[in-house]
Structure 1
Amino acid sequence: MTRHGNSQSSAANLLTDNPELYEARFPDPERLAGHWAEDCLSRYGAGPRVLDLGCGTGRDAAHLHRAGRTVTGADLSEAMLAYARTEHPGPEYLRADLRQFTLPGREFDAVVCLDSALLYCHTNAELDGFLSSVRTCLAPGGLLVAELRNGAFFLGRTELLDAPRVNGFTWRGTTYRSTTTLYVDRTAQLLRRTRVWTADDGSAPVEQRSAWRLLLPQELRYVLAANGFEVLALYDGPGPRTEPPWRAGDPEGTATDADRLHLVARLGRQLPTPVRTPR
């Protein structure tokens, strides 16, 4: 955090630019997300080659590697990738923008996209770019496994929007506090977040802004079908970020009403033929 007298906005991200701090803020000693992803891959018979898109610090990619899979982790943050290579070795780590990427000469049996990373596709063009890129690198019959926020949760509900949420944690002797405000931008169909970071080390507060696309379950089914995917499972819980959290052996849910969505989709052998409406 830069030392100035006044609060400032920053295009950087305190957590993603500081991977050790990220893991301190979001500890996952049980590797629940990785365990859940591996359970999905095993349940639906995925082959061993896995691409973890938006892999972050590499914790989940490394877990899948330890489960016996050949894993490639991809992320846009060079800081995250450097940390992953050192702290969570095993997978190959590459820089890629999930909104549009190419990995020439590589083919995967499954693509995993956790922690709402898919929702950084803010526009229809970016969402199409993501699915087109995934389709290009997946083997026929390959799986897309994703975990993300549920846009339907915000239809008539405001409990996550009513008031700022304050969280704090201490890392290496410094106490950090975040004040987070969420609001729905209905025109852009985005969940926007403003987060102000303060620390007790004398640094100035830093304001950061980010956003996620809000996708409704039926909208997600439609765009996946249009891109040649068959939805095998789509449900709100249990999952690695739900309360109560997913545990090994839990059956898949059937509702799509709560805050999270969990998706398993299979790539068909060809795109569906567009339906043309007679004039």
Structure 2
Amino acid sequence: MSAPTDPGGEQQEHGANLLTEHPALYEARFPDPERLAGRWAEDCLRRHAAGHRVLDIGCGTGRDAAHLSRAGREVIGADLSEAMLDHAREHHPGPTYTRADLRGFDLGRRVCDAVVCLDSALLYCHTNSQLDGFLASCRAALTPGGLLVCEMRNGAYFLGRTDLLDTPTVNTWTYDGSSYRSTTTLTVDRAAQLLRRTRIWETGDGSAPLRQHSAWRLLFPQEIGHLLAAHGFDVLALYDGPGPRTEPAWREGDVPGVASGTADGDRLHLVARLR
């Protein structure tokens, strides 16, 4: 069974992004009632003795940032979508929320002990220069010895595997009395090293379908290690599972992977330390 499709990052052919402009719908489509992503991130921070100041970059609706805040951390939640940030401030209080682009951000005089980047948000850095911008921004924001914790799709999974590609996946659900249907197709753009997604949204109110496009950068374990080393990070852990979006999913007490762990699954989990 494959992991759930990642939320966010879509570009609609006409108009605004359906999910990022409707955060409550986003949470209904991608529920996380057990806060697995936030709990997994907090477990990584505890295991590697991170300080209490945390930046959640690409925080979306703020569910995970709020969980880290409730765990006793001083949290900044950052996202590019004002609608997401407004929702986070109202529904997931605790963190300080601010608008920022993960491809290049500046916290000013604020520094943090850890940067958390979940739900494949890192992979919206499509080019090498955007990845450099993200890592340079993380380095500037972190104290020496600070942690970078990421969870994302695994580019290596698509080396010779096609089970997630080319065949439409249909999901249906009901929210606020309305029915929704999404049809998602994934394809690989090898030249750009991107996993492209086309998603068609349909509602039960007779509205015309909406077609949205997005893409994730396909990053490979060796490539990730090289990029991190170039920006002054040492990899502490890089592994496929268990994690919040794997099958079976991560649970409290699970022993995390190590730097030499496997990368066969469709998710990748990273913990790195700034030298």
Q: What TM-score results when the alignment is normalised by the length of structure 2?
A: 0.94
Q: 2:236 aligns with which of 232, 237, 240?
A: 232
Structure 2 residue aligned with 1:58: 62
Q: Deviation digits for residues 181-200 of structure 1, max 9, x if unmatched?
A: 10000000000000000001
Structure 2 residue aligned with 1:271: none
| 1:12 shift after superposition | 2.3
Other structure's SS at 1:218 match: helix
Partners of 2:225 and 2:17 lie apart in 1 by 32
Q: 2:123 aligns with which of 86, 99, 119?
A: 119
Other structure's SS at 1:104 match: coil
Structure 2 residue aligned with 1:266: 273
Q: Deviation digits for residues 82-128 of structure 1, max 9, x if unmatched?
A: 00000000000000000011111110000000000000000000000
Q: What RMSD in Å do the two structures reach over aligned CA positions?
A: 0.8
Structure 2: 5+ residue runs without aligned partners?
A: 1-11
Contact 1:99 1:127 in 2 (8 A): yes
| 1:11 shift after superposition | 5.1
Q: Does 1:257 align with 2:264?
A: yes
Amino acid at match of 1:14: L
Partners of 2:214 and 2:151 lie apart in 1 by 18
Other structure's SS at 1:178 match: strand
Equivalences, count: 261
Partners of 1:234 and 1:35 lie apart in 2 by 18
Partners of 1:71 and 1:165 lie apart in 2 by 36
| 1:13 shift after superposition | 1.7
Partners of 1:265 and 1:11 lie apart in 2 by 38
Structure 2 residue aligned with 1:160: 164
Which segments of structure 1 move beyond 6 Å, counting only runs of 4 or more?
A: none
| 1:10 shift after superposition | 2.9
Contact 1:51 1:112 in 2 (8 A): yes
Partners of 1:139 and 1:114 lie apart in 2 by 20
Structure 1 residue aligned with 2:91: 87
Partners of 2:14 and 2:233 lie apart in 1 by 38
Matching of residues 93-172 of structure 1 within 5 Å: 93-172=97-176
Structure 2 residue aligned with 1:180: 184
Give % identity.
73
Contact 1:11 1:208 in 2 (8 A): no
Partners of 1:95 and 1:209 lie apart in 2 by 23
Structure 1: 5+ residue runs without aligned partners?
A: 1-7, 269-279
Q: 1:194 aligns with which of 180, 190, 198?
A: 198
Structure 2 residue aligned with 1:275: none
Structure 2 residue aligned with 1:39: 43
